Chain A
Amino acid sequence: EAGVAQSPRYKIIEKRQSVAFWCNPISGHATLYWYQQILGQGPKLLIQFQNNGVVDDSQLPKDRFSAERLKGVDSTLKIQPAKLEDSAVYLCASSLRTTYEQYFGPGTRLTVT
């Protein structure tokens, strides 16, 4: 069974530029999550989708971050404009249902200069 796919793996941008990350969950997984992990910290949930609907986006900085999951499969997370403090690893995870085990993709390491 293929795991969670993410791209790109690495991205370097200047502050105020925009960036987008893509995620393809494990086949059949209805729930998709985007996390931000800053060095030395645990992952922090940004947004959670159940199929193509948003379940929780309470920690998503909506003035600069946006995410969508059209057709209930792939998802895109966008940052516009980026700030220095957005430098982190962005992890996508998926699970069969909301309360089931979550499996993570390889992540995208973002550096904002």
Chain B
Amino acid sequence: QKEVEQNSGPLSVPEGAIASLNCTYSDRGSQSFFWYRQYSGKSPELIMSIYSNGDKEDGRFTAQLNKASQYVSLLIRDSQPSDSATYLCAVLNTGFQKLVFGTGTRLLVSP
């Protein structure tokens, strides 16, 4: 079982729709979770962090965390073509305080 799992996609949504990106993790003791956006040929850019169960909103982005289900998600409201990128889920491993990344989900937003 991979430590952090994401569907590789691509996830295709029309402009203006809600994009829902999902991530599961295996380390039950993990406390810190991050979403990074990575455009093709660029480095990862931090867009959200979440540490407590529930929702955290920042502009058009909402991160959701359910530690009991070991599940974290990212919702992007009013998706724009400029949101087209790969979204990486990252989980801070409790043992060695190491950030473990999923393989990323590619999002395509069509005009």
In contact, B101 and A43 (Cβ under 8 angstroms): yes
Determine if B22 is an interface residue (Cβ-Cβ < 8 Å).
no
Write out the residue numbers on chain A whose beta carbons fall within 8 Å of the beta carbon of B36: 104
Partner-binding segment picked from A64-72, A77-85, A94-102: A94-102
Q: Which residues of A contact B96 (CB under 8 A)?
A: 55-56, 58
Picked from A45, A89, A106, the residue with its CB within 8 Å of the CB of B99 is: A45
Minimum CB–CB distance from A111 to chain B (whole Å) comes to: 14
B45 at the interface (CB under 8 A from A): yes
Bound form: Cα–Cα A103–B103 in Å: 18
Contact A91 B44 (CB under 8 A): yes
Q: Do A99 and B32 form a contact, CB below 8 Å, given A40-B103, A42-B101?
A: yes
Q: Which residues of A contact B74 (CB under 8 A)?
A: none
A25 to B99, CA, bound (A): 17
In the complex, the answer to whether A99 meets B101 with C-beta atoms within 8 Å is no
Q: Which of B42, B90, B100 contacts A106 (CB 8 A)?
A: B42
User: Which of chain B's residues have a CB closer than 8 A to the CB of A43?
Assistant: 44, 88, 101
Q: Is the interface of B mostly helix, strand, loop or mixed?
A: strand
Contact A104 B45 (CB under 8 A): yes
Check A42/B43 contact, CB under 8 A, given A98-B97, A99-B97, A101-B34: no
User: A48 in the interface, Cβ–Cβ < 8 Å?
Assistant: yes
Question: Complex formed: what's the CA distance from A101 to B27 in Å?
Answer: 19
Whole-angstrom distance from the CB of B98 to the nearest CB of chain A? 6
Known contacts A103-B46, A107-B43: A45-B98 contact under CB 8 Å = yes
Question: Which A residues are in CB contact (< 8 Å) with B103?
Answer: 40-42
Residues of A4-43 at the interface with B, using a CB-CB cut-off of 8 Å, are 33, 40-43
The 4 closest A-B pairs by CB, nearest first: A42-B101, A104-B43, A98-B97, A107-B43
**Can you report 24 residue pairs joining A to B where beta carbons are below 8 Å apart?**
A33-B99, A41-B103, A42-B88, A42-B90, A43-B44, A43-B88, A43-B101, A44-B101, A45-B98, A45-B100, A48-B98, A55-B96, A56-B97, A89-B43, A91-B44, A99-B32, A99-B97, A101-B46, A104-B36, A104-B43, A104-B44, A104-B45, A104-B46, A105-B43
